[in-house]
């Protein structure tokens, strides 16, 4: 495992339903910034829009852009997009490496309050990616409210959440991110969008990275939130407080 992993997330004000504009804006924002992993919010190319048929990628538009961007920046890039695949609409979280290889996680818990379950199909698999020796669990927004699904079975080192989580429920977002870090003794990086979307929902700057003890380790500057994972610190903390050894055994699927 590489000892340090630098991550930079963009607190992005997404332009409503305009993929090309969002791709351009992201490239401009990241022009002078580098990291091992560049993070983008949930549905960063369109905003969290429930008419999937209108916005969904049908020719891997977002994935193709992410591959190009990752190669040009020599960094991994992650974020979710609305896609149409094999007859279903999905909220798909891509993790793209600089060499063009990628994995994806389809959002498991759909936000019924907004009707996401009426437009999108739920994912069926829990996905952990390996990058530079780090094992990273991929999660999207509403997944945060379901701790069983993200329970650490000693199979990951960090969790990353990408979201469109509005101001009206922002306390829950912050509290649950911290709880996931503590209960799973893992780094937890939650990246939320900012600004106002096409539904007139407001999103304050609320992106954070927590260490395994619940302390905030991220720094925010110019709409970027950055953090650095350190494997030695994580190993030392887990070795001192071996709470995961006492976890309950169960199977999700």
Give the burial class of 251: count Cβ atoms within 10 A of its Cβ; 0-12 exposed, 13-18 middle, 19 or more buried: exposed
Residue with tokens 């992410």: 66
**What distance in Å separates the CA atoms of residue 188 and residue 209, rounded to the nearest whole number?**
6
List of residues 6+ apart from 212 with CB closer than 8 A: 181, 182, 184, 185, 186, 187, 234, 237, 238
Out of 42, 116, 183, 228, pick the active-site residue. Answer: 42
Q: Which member of 19, 67, 97, 107 is catalytic?
A: 107
Contact 3, 230 (CB under 8 A): yes
Measured over all CA atoms, what is the biggest interatomic distance in the chain, rounded to whole angstroms? 51
CB 40 within 8 A of CB 79: yes
CA distance 79 to 66: 9
Is 107 annotated in the active site? Answer: yes
Region label for 69, one of left (φ > 0), alpha (ψ between -120 and 50) or beta (otherwise): alpha
Catalytic entry in 19, 97, 116, 141? 141
| C-beta atoms surrounding 104 within 10 Å | 21
In the residue annotation, 141 being an active-site residue is answered as yes
* Angstrom distance (rounded) from CA 82 to CA 46: 8
How far, in Å, CA of 164 to CA of 234, rounded? 28
Return d(Cα 43, Cα 94) in angstroms, integer.
Answer: 11
In terms of DSSP bridges, do strands 224-230 and 219-221 run parallel, antiparallel, or are they unpaired?
antiparallel
- Catalytic (active-site) positions: 42, 107, 141
């Amino acid at each position: 495992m590489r000892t340090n992993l630098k991550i930079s997330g963009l607190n992005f004000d997404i332009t409503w339903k305009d993929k090309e504009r969002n791709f351009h804006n992201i490239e401009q924002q990241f022009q002078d910034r580098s990291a091992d992993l560049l993070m983008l919010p949930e549905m960063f190319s369109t905003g969290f829009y429930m008419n999937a048929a209108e916005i969904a990628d049908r020719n891997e538009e977002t994935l193709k852009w992410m591959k190009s961007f990752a190669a040009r920046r020599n960094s991994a890039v992650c974020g979710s997009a609305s896609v149409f695949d094999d007859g279903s609409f999905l909220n798909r979280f891509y993790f793209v490496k600089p060499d063009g290889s990628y994995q994806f996680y389809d959002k498991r818990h759909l936000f019924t309050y907004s009707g996401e379950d009426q437009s999108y199909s739920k994912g069926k698999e829990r996905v952990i990616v390996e990058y530079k020796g780090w094992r990273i669990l991929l999660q999207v927004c509403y997944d945060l409210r379901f701790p069983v699904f993200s329970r650490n079975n000693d199979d990951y080192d960090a969790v990353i959440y990408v979201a469109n989580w509005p101001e009206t429920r922002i306390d829950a977002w912050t509290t649950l991110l911290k709880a996931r870090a503590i209960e799973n003794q893992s780094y937890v990086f939650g990246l939320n969008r900012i600004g106002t979307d096409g539904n007139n929902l407001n999103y304050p700057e609320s992106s954070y990275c927590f260490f395994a003890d619940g302390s905030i380790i991220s720094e925010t500057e110019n709409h970027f939130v950055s953090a650095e994972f350190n494997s030695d610190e994580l190993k030392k903390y887990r070795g001192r407080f071996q709470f995961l050894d006492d976890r309950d055994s169960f199977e999700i699927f």
